[in-house]
Amino acid sequence: MRATLVGVLSVVGVLAGCGTATSVQPSPTGPGVLTLKEALPPKPGGEVGSASDEFDTAKNLSVWSKLSDTEKDLDRIAKLDVSTTTKGSLYLEPKVSAWFDGFRGPFVYQELAGDIVMHARLKVEGKKGATPTQKFSLGGLMARVPNSSGSANWLSLTTGTADTSGQLEMTYTRNGSSAPKEVKVKTGWVELVLARVGTAAVALYKEDGGAWKVGQRWPAELPEVLQWGMTAYTDWNSYNTLKKDPAKGNAQQVKGTPDVKMTVDFVRFLRPELPDYADALNTASVPDDVLIKVLTPSGA
């Protein structure tokens, strides 16, 4: 567990987005700068390592909780299995659903405490094609505050079709208000990292055959225990007049044209290691290439 960040790098102002910086800039050679040489990749194994899943057998599904069961929500999952639809993978196909503001969609997760790196390889497709045809049909990773249905608090890193196809969407929802950011990505397999380290949350992504990129750094005051897992949702347009009424939208299964399926090759959980003097929200303290080393497994 990381200690509280030291005062020399206290965040005075934070700008959202890739390459987030603060108004306090440490000297490039002075204390507070984490170098690539000094940075260490996250540690596998231990308590969080035991939560990792290669999805090699159907019985693995039993370790994952469904939000619809644990918080008595509607079950918006049309199909969910492990190593059945696709051997060696988790398969998730949602009904019409949404994760936006106070709206809730499918979510399968494990509860884990402390600083976490969640690393996954997955593919999101339409039911009949390489990309979903319905707007905001996405799948990927989520970290959620437990029992926060009344005031939604969660982070997600998803891919698929947002307002257009071939997009990666990074969202931090605080107290029922979502702030998404989209970037263009190739369709097909992608590796994703969603991480919490100290008072920062980070989204990383790597297209198949490409290099890791920092998608987002968020200042995140989150409780010790979070729900870490996977989600997929689809067809926001079918909510029609309910788009401004999460309570009514969550209370019924909206009919429409669901068009997304997600295949997850693996999900691995690791512990990040960041020195107390390093501020993950400050690019002068932890540059992008250093942050990537700290939050991606060695050799990934």
Domain-wise residue ranges, the chain: 42-295
Closest CA relative to residue 121, chosen from 261, 264, 232: 264
Q: Which CATH number fits domain 42-295: 2.60.120.200, 3.30.450.90, 3.40.50.2300, 3.90.550.10?
A: 2.60.120.200
Dihedral (Cα; 84, 111, 233, 219), 10-degree rounding: -140
- Beta-carbon contacts of 70 under 8 Å, excluding residues fewer than 6 positions away, are none
How far apart are the C-alpha atoms of 283 and 32, rounded to whole Å? Answer: 11
Helix (H) or strand (E) holding 289: helix 288-295
pLDDT band at 13 (very low <50, low <70, confident <90, very high): very low
Residue 7 amino acid letter: G
Alpha helices in 189-284 (DSSP H): 246-250
Instruction: Read off the pLDDT of each residue in 227-231 and give the average, rounded to a whole number.
Output: 98
Strand-pair partners of 194: 118, 203
Please check the confidence at residue 152 and state whether its pLDDT lies above 80.
yes
Instruction: Read off the pLDDT of each residue in 135-155 and give the average, rounded to a whole number.
Output: 97
Q: What is the pLDDT of residue 300?
A: 80
Instruction: Read off the pLDDT of each residue in 260-266 and give the average, rounded to a whole number.
Output: 98
Q: What is the pLDDT of residue 46?
A: 83
Instruction: Read off the pLDDT of each residue in 34-62 and give the average, rounded to a whole number.
Output: 95
Q: What is the pLDDT of residue 180?
A: 97
How far apart are the C-alpha atoms of 171 and 144, rounded to whole Å? Answer: 12
This prediction has a pTM of 0.89
Please check the confidence at residue 233 and state whether its pLDDT lies above 90.
yes
Instruction: Read off the pLDDT of each residue in 196-224 and give the average, rounded to a whole number.
Output: 96
Lowest mean per-residue pLDDT among 24-28, 128-132, 277-281, 296-300: 24-28
Q: What is the pLDDT of residue 125?
A: 98
Q: What is the pLDDT of residue 211?
A: 97
Instruction: Read off the pLDDT of each residue in 246-271 and give the average, rounded to a whole number.
Output: 97
If 0-12 CB within 10 Å is exposed, 13-18 middle and 19+ buried, where does residue 222 land?
middle
Q: What is the pLDDT of residue 9?
A: 32
Please check the confidence at residue 78 and state whether its pLDDT lies above 50.
yes
Residue-wise pLDDT for 85-101, tens only, equals 999 999 999 999 999 99
- Beta-carbon contacts of 33 under 8 Å, excluding residues fewer than 6 positions away, are 26, 27, 278, 284, 285
Please check the confidence at residue 158 and state whether its pLDDT lies above 50.
yes
- Beta-carbon contacts of 37 under 8 Å, excluding residues fewer than 6 positions away, are none
- Do 274 and 294 contact (CB within 8 A), yes or no? yes
pLDDT band at 10 (very low <50, low <70, confident <90, very high): very low
| Tokens of residue 59, six digits | 């019985």
Residue 176 amino acid letter: G
Helices (H) and strands (E) in the chain, counts: 4, 14
Residue-wise pLDDT for 167-200, tens only, equals 999 999 999 999 999 999 999 999 999 999 999 9
Query: Rounded mean pLDDT of the chain?
Result: 90
As a residue count, the chain comes to 300
Residue with tokens 């400050």: 282
Q: What is the pLDDT of residue 48?
A: 93
How far apart are the C-alpha atoms of 142 and 249, rounded to whole Å? Answer: 21
Closest CA relative to residue 34, chosen from 202, 273, 286: 286
Instruction: Read off the pLDDT of each residue in 112-122 and give the average, rounded to a whole number.
Output: 97
Beta strands in the chain (DSSP E): 65-66, 77-82, 90-94, 108-113, 116-125, 137-144, 154-161, 167-174, 177-184, 190-197, 200-207, 213-219, 225-233, 261-270
Please check the confidence at residue 38 and state whether its pLDDT lies above 50.
yes
